[in-house]
Amino acid sequence: MINNMTFNFRGPGPPWKSLLFILFIFTLGGVASENTNYHMQSLCKNHFLQQLYRKIDGAVLHSQNERNLDCVITFQTHSILQRFMLRFDSLHLDCNDHLYIYDGAHAVGNFKSDLSCRNTKQAVGSIFTRTNFVTLRYVTDGWGTDANGFNLVITAVKDPKHSCMDFRCNLREFCIAKDLVCDGINHCADGSDEAISSTCSMPNRDKIFGMETILFVAIAVSSTLILCVCVVIMFVCSCRRQAAPQTPSHQLPAYNANMPLQQVHGSNGTGATTIVSKLPGNWRHPAGLLLGYSEARARLYCQAK
């Protein structure tokens, strides 16, 4: 009985979900990051997010009437050959609010700028760091109006002495990332990255189905890879299904199917006796062959009987 039993042990199989997740993250990691919009209220809400170094090509920080904040945020360039340029599109701080700008990865030591109600965007102009880090500390009190706040544009730039494979601004010849060009934000400070020229005259020139070319290619590649993985999974499952052994059906052996049987059950219901009923014809001594007749004559003889 045990020999007829089939045990089919299958392991948990490949971690397809984990592989697909890693593939998805890897695919997203290869896409260049465009200009990122941050809101100070969201950035300063979670203490853990404040400790992250955010690598950016460009970003815009929005602030409007945040109260009772003491928030520290650090940004980092993708290359040590870059540094940051900071420029305000709007700047209206309350006199009890302060925005401290540090040229480094931590809010320690001497700050580069201390901005408050006395400062305007025209007076501040553009601020440049010497390192590839910039740290902002924003401190506000418990009072303010909706007019208080700022819009700060942060751009990672490369000095003219370095080779530029991306976009070079006109006035100071800074080099910025291509994905910052024609995005509606003045990253060069002179407006050359948003100038209505051959660069931005055709806003949809690099778009496919309304999407950027890089994003479309990333989606197409990831979709193709996911489809290939699904096909492989279906093929493996089909092969396993075909290779699974069939469970043999349990059949009672037939000792002599040509012998009619008669089963007589015992009176007490605990046993059974099987007897052979009387067989038709001369079954014990078949006539014909033993008498020297041929097969055909023996068959005729049996039919006559």
List the pLDDT tens digit at each of the 305 positions of the chain: 444 444 444 445 555 555 555 544 444 443 445 789 999 998 888 766 667 899 999 999 999 999 999 999 999 999 999 999 999 999 999 999 999 999 999 999 999 999 999 999 999 999 999 999 999 999 999 998 999 999 999 999 999 999 999 999 998 899 999 999 999 999 999 999 998 665 676 555 556 655 667 777 888 898 999 999 999 999 888 888 887 666 555 555 554 545 454 444 444 554 544 554 555 555 555 554 555 556 667 677 677 76
Angstrom distance (rounded) from CA 141 to CA 94: 9
Residue 102 resides in a domain: yes
Question: 243-251 contacts: CB < 8 A, separation 24 or more?
Answer: 244/8, 245/6, 245/8, 247/6, 248/4, 250/4
Residue 5 resides in a domain: no
| Residue 74: domain span | 30-203
Residue 18 resides in a domain: no
CA distances from 153 to 89, 113, 114, 172, 178 (A): 7, 16, 17, 17, 16
Residue 243 resides in a domain: no
Our CA angle for 237, 241, 247, nearest 5°, is 155
Per residue, the 3-state secondary structure of 45-77, as one string, reads CCHHHHCCEEECCEEEEEEECCCCCEEEEEEEC
Residue 25 resides in a domain: no
Number of domains within the chain: 1
Residue 273 resides in a domain: no
CATH number (domain holding residue 59): 2.60.120.290
Residue 164 resides in a domain: yes
DSSP code at position 17: H
Residue 303 resides in a domain: no
Angstrom distance (rounded) from CA 19 to CA 159: 41
